[in-house]
């Protein structure tokens, strides 16, 4: 509406005032265009890391611990818990990027799990590309398409190493019922112990 008024004024005012209004209108238009281009460049070059998303995963797990194993069905519910979604808001938006939360329901309707897509947002607030994570904390990155799924390749990080290690511990315990596990982490890292993180992938 303001631009329409300025255009009307540029036509009906005296030539001297009309010129001032025209320059003022042009300045506003150029400034808006520059800001839009800066915003677009910021979104296009942004590379979101999973660190903030792990906070949301922890929030969902904490919620389930306090609700007899049932997970929240939306980000809106988690947003009611102080600092639970930080730095995201109830809509999944933040300066770091965007998340999309999808609950997984059982046949009876209970929320038994969830998945989260996260990545940089487009100028209009949509996900341009996205990685996938669920209650396992294992991150999947897209391959051949912009939005990842559970069947896409796994991004190697600390969480994947811990999951592999824990699986190996369980299998080793099943096949070696008489073994005594180390009581401290330094003992577990000793090379003379037959199971360690260096051997975990070989033992699965």
pLDDT tens-place string over residues 182-200:
667 676 667 666 665 555 4
Domain count, the chain: 3
80-114 confidence digits (pLDDT tens): 998 889 899 999 998 878 999 999 999 999 999 99
Write down the residue that tokens 């389930």 correspond to: 64
Phi, psi of 30 (to 5 degrees): -65, -40
The boundaries of the domain holding residue 24 are: 2-45
> pTM higher than 0.75, yes or no?
no
Is pLDDT above 60 for 18? no
Q: For residues 29 and 59, state if they share a domain.
A: no
Q: For residues 95 and 36, state if they share a domain.
A: no
Q: For residues 69 and 38, state if they share a domain.
A: no
Q: Is 146 a member of any domain?
A: no
**Res 76: pLDDT:** 95
**Res 204: pLDDT:** 39
Long-range contacts of residues 92-96, Cβ cutoff 8 Å, at least 24 apart = 93/121, 93/125, 94/52, 96/46, 96/48, 96/49, 96/52
128-157 confidence digits (pLDDT tens): 889 999 988 888 999 999 999 999 988 876
Q: For residues 181 and 162, state if they share a domain.
A: yes
């Amino acid at each position: 509406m303001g631009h329409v008024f300025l255009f009307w004024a540029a036509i009906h005012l005296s030539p001297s005032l009309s010129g001032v209004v025209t320059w003022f209108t042009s300045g506003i238009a150029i400034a808006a265009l520059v800001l839009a281009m800066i915003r677009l460049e910021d979104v296009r070059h942004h590379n979101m890391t999973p660190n903030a998303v792990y906070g949301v995963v922890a929030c969902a797990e904490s919620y389930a611990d306090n609700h007899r194993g049932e997970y929240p069905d939306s980000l809106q519910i988690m947003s009611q818990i102080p600092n639970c979604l930080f730095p995201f808001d109830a809509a999944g938006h933040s300066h770091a990027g965007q998340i999309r939360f999808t609950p997984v329901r059982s046949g009876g309707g209970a929320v038994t799990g969830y998945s989260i897509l996260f990545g940089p947002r487009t100028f209009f607030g949509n996900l341009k590309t996205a990685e996938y994570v669920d209650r396992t904390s294992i991150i999947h990155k897209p391959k051949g398409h912009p939005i990842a799924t559970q069947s896409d390749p796994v991004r190697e990080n600390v969480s994947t190493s811990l999951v592999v290690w824990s699986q190996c511990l369980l299998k080793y315990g099943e096949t070696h019922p008489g073994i005594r596990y180390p009581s401290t982490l330094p003992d577990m890292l000793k090379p003379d112990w037959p199971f360690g993180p260096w051997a975990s992938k070989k033992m699965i």
